[in-house]
Amino acid sequence: MSAVSGQFDTWFRRYEPVSPGAVKLLALPHAGGSAPYFLPLARALAPGLDVLCVQYPGRLDRHREPALTDLRELAERVYRALVAAPAGPVVLFGHSMGAVLAYEIARRLESSGGGELLGVIASGRRAPHRFREETVHLRDDDGIVAEIRELSGTDPGVLDDEELLRMVLPALRADYRAVETYRETPGVSPLSAPVTVLTGESDSRVSLDDARAWEELTSGTFRFRSFPGGHFYLNGRPGEVTAAIRESVEAFRSAAAPTSS
């Protein structure tokens, strides 16, 4: 991994060497997730894309830091670290909770003009304005573990290891609180950046209609792709998902390229 010092080194993990001038793909994990979740994706997309995997506080090498329970605060901190990094075009890619973070970071980038945002890829999450009451963060530990088991996105070995569970449960609960208490600000202008949505066709948490509703949040081009599978459809179809991400980034780049007169 190579990285510059400071905020960049704290928040982002670059696992593979990249080509000069490569577009940054900021990869934002799901609730309870960490940067290494996207390691296979980073390897598959390198060196053409510079995959920067976000490491949230409260896990792995940042386990001594308290996990954040406010999604907007988390988005603000990632945004500040991103704009402090070397400049260049960026695509935001987030799965589940990470998709909502991508949306909030995109809003900050567009309102401030602080970065060259090419587009947003939202995976496994209903559109932020499609509210649904959820209270997983209020459950006891067994209730949270039951939710994670049902989603089938975590190694069962972690869930069966009491010591590991004690380490990951605080961050899990904090993430669920952050995303479940988030409310999209009503009446805001749509993003101007194009948006691609990727989702699992049998995701019990995200209907196809709620996933397509992301189209209402952009005035730019909207692309939609569904895959066989549930909430963590991307685990079982890495090649197809990688291809879909690469195609979206190329479409974003083409749309942003200046036209000759």
Q: How many whole angstroms separate alpha carbon 180 and alpha carbon 174?
A: 10
Alpha carbon of 123 to those of 58, 85, 199: distances in Å? Answer: 23, 25, 6
Half-sphere exposure (CA, 13 Å, Cβ side) for 85?
A: 26
Q: How many whole angstroms separate alpha carbon 210 and alpha carbon 205?
A: 10
Look at phi and psi of residue 210 and say left if phi exceeds 0, alpha if psi is from -120 to 50, else beta: alpha
Q: Which of 34, 96, 123, 248 does the annotation list as catalytic?
A: 96
List of E strands, 79-205: 89-95, 116-123, 195-200
* 96 a catalytic residue: yes
Q: How many whole angstroms separate alpha carbon 23 and alpha carbon 47?
A: 10
Amino acid in position 136? V
Catalytic residue set: 96
